[in-house]
Amino acid sequence: MSQTYGKTRWKRFALVMVPSIAATAAVGVSIANNALAASFSVSGQSFKVTTPELHGRNFAQFGSIDAESNGTPHPVAVSAFDEATIKGLCQSVVTDPNVIPGLPWKLPKIILRLEAGNSEDVKKQVYAKNLLIDLDQLNADAEFSNINIGQEASTLKGEATQGWKSKLGGLPSGQTGFAQAAEKADLYNVQQTAWATSAGTFKLPGLKLALHTDGSGECY
């Protein structure tokens, strides 16, 4: 295969995440210097997501902090897509009902599993606009087109990223947080652990939701 300028392929996305991990590690310093505001409040539970294919347009990634309602911080790498098509989406979260105060009986852990877009027809796959994923672990095979690694977070231009900034009241023009961006991102065999997901539009054809109490049901 001939090499094309501006197109980068890595067999394991872990290699791509190296600069993102560095960015996340520096988030605390950035916040201390008022360079980055903390992101969104989360429930305190992470969840697992898998998909055999995700194809996104105007991809960006940068470091941030999510915080639980009690103030506990979670450093995250925010992945932003102006548009994304997701094949065979699976999302699962484990809940322990025994942490509910005053519950008079003991119950098994409950796994909530959501599936959608399990079709070869792209029109019947999951579609998201202005998709934001706050994650702290991701494995995949990935290909990026016209990627720029190392730009300042404040210079990111994508619509999804701009929406994220507006929720925080914007980022300073002198922001020096590490970021990366690409015109197109194609991810395969995705496994990730996330703390929050949001989208302006989220279409879920063939949606299936089930509760599992036998210990099965997690996406991976």
Domain ranges within the chain, ordered by starting residue: 7-212
Q: What are phi and psi of 202, to 5 degrees?
A: -140, 105
User: For residue 87, what pLDDT is reported?
Assistant: 98
Distances (CA, A) of 125 to 69, 73, 143, 173: 34, 34, 20, 38
User: For residue 102, what pLDDT is reported?
Assistant: 74
User: For residue 107, what pLDDT is reported?
Assistant: 79
Strand residue runs (E) in the chain: 7-10, 41-42, 47-68, 73-87, 89-95, 110-116, 126-152, 178-198, 201-203, 208-212
User: For residue 76, what pLDDT is reported?
Assistant: 87
Instruction: Say whether pTM exceeds 0.95.
Output: no
User: For residue 170, what pLDDT is reported?
Assistant: 52
Averaged pLDDT in 10-residue chunks for the chain of 220 residues: 40 37 39 40 81 96 80 85 97 82 79 95 95 92 92 84 68 61 96 91 94 92
User: For residue 156, what pLDDT is reported?
Assistant: 84
